[in-house]
Amino acid sequence: MLLACLLSSCQSIRDWFTPSIDAVGGVSMQVRLADVPRTFCQTDTRWAEVELGTSGCKLGTHGCLVCSTAMATSSLGVRLSPPELNERLKRHDGFQPQGWLIWNALHRVTDGQLTADYHTRPSHEWIDEALKAGAFPVIAYPLPNGARHWVLVVGKEGLDYLVRDPLTDEPKKPVLLSTLTDRILAVRVVKKAS
């Protein structure tokens, strides 16, 4: 179980071999998506002790991806709290055993209203195009301990992305990604189904 927790949604051995991109870049633009009024913090006492899928890990320690994705779904009109999304993903085979999200399950858990694009390599172009289209990029970056951490992109100021961070101490406003990291490891995009 400890190994499953170490390899859960906040970390992947694959990160050690995957190219990353700068946290700042792409097209310079000013955009702010209409998003949730508060960040879903993974340490929120209402769900911190909820098990992540069936991994044995808790949302409070490994729930950054579920919290970020719940903010994206809620911002796109499918209002789900992190434990509600977690439960729906469990019911619809939306997790791998170690707690990694299975992205094509998002369509099932939102009754066909939303979908997700899974990009195998990070790209500023994908993030910027998603923002222009009103979709929500969910990106991963490395924490100082090497773990992968996921945040929701809600806008861009010039070349710097605005994110909602599930580990934040300030849940009412987004922060600049460059204040958290200098690298992006992965990009997923949550959007309305066409």
Answering whether pTM is above 0.75, one says yes
The Cα-based distances of 175 to 37, 69, 151, 156 in angstroms read 13, 17, 10, 10
Per-residue pLDDT of the chain (194 residues; tens, 9 = 90+): 444 444 444 444 444 566 899 999 999 999 999 988 889 999 999 999 999 999 999 999 999 999 999 999 999 999 999 999 999 999 999 999 888 999 999 999 999 999 999 988 999 999 999 999 999 999 999 999 989 999 999 999 999 999 999 998 677 889 999 999 999 999 999 999 98
Enumerate residues 6+ apart whose C-beta is below 8 A from 1. 56
Enumerate residues 6+ apart whose C-beta is below 8 A from 89. 53, 66, 95, 101, 102, 105, 109
CATH class label, 20-192: alpha beta
Q: Where does residue 194 rank: exposed (0-12), middle (13-18), buried (19+ CB within 10 A)? A: exposed
The 8-class DSSP code of residue 65 comes to H
How is the chain split into domains, by residue range?
Answer: 20-192
Amino acid identity, residue 3?
L
